[in-house]
Every structure is written in C-alpha cells, then in structure tokens.
Amino acid sequence: MSVTYLFHNDEGQRGTWKQGDGYVQIVCPECGKVAILDHDIADDGTVTPSVVCPREGCDWHEMVILIGWQMPDVQVHINADKNLAPETAHALAELVKAAARAIENGTLDDEAHAS
C-alpha cells in the first residue's frame, strides 16, 4: 500500500476529491468509481483509515491525502486519462501545497507587488 494524493476539483475526474453537501467524495484513480468517504480527515488532509475502492474487481486500496483540504479554493485539473506516476503526483502535491501556503501567507501578492 502506498500513499495516493488526490487533488481537488469539482468535475469528478479520476484521482480527485470534492466536497458535497455534508459529504466528501473521491474518485478512484484506477477505475473512476465514486466513493463517499466515511473516514477521519486530519487538518492536513490525511485520510484514515486507508481507502478501499467500492467497485468489485478493483483492487485499489491506498493511504489517501486530500490535497487542498484546508484550501479548497485551490483546484487542480489533471488529465483524467492518465494515471500520474507517484513521483509526479507527489511533486505536484508539493507545488499545490506551496502555492496554497503562499496564498494563505499573502506572499504571492507581496512578490507580485515587489516586481
């Protein structure tokens, strides 16, 4: 079992999560099945326990981190036809988190004004 980073968008793409009215859903990166989480979600987006795809025959079972959990305005649109390599997903997740922090701290604005 490894860690899967799910990105936030509202379009139901594979490998993403979104928040509905009183629920959080994810879309299985393997098969595209929508799953409603009945899990604990920590402040940093870590989901416990691990998540199992509800579709019979799909063996996706991963530790999940919801990227942008604290900053749900940050949405990432990915190519739904491509499974991201774990390193790519990790790198992208770090970028999104850094961008979210910069927005939160106002440092993006500061840099924009400084230049």
CB of 14 to Zn ion, least distance (A): 9
CB of 58 to Zn ion, least distance (A): 3
CB of 105 to Zn ion, least distance (A): 37
Cβ closest to Zn ion, residue 55 vs residue 99: 55
Structure tokens of 57?
């025959």
Cβ closest to Zn ion, residue 58 vs residue 63: 58
Tell me which residues touch Zn ion (CB under 5 A).
28, 30-31, 33, 53, 55, 58, 60
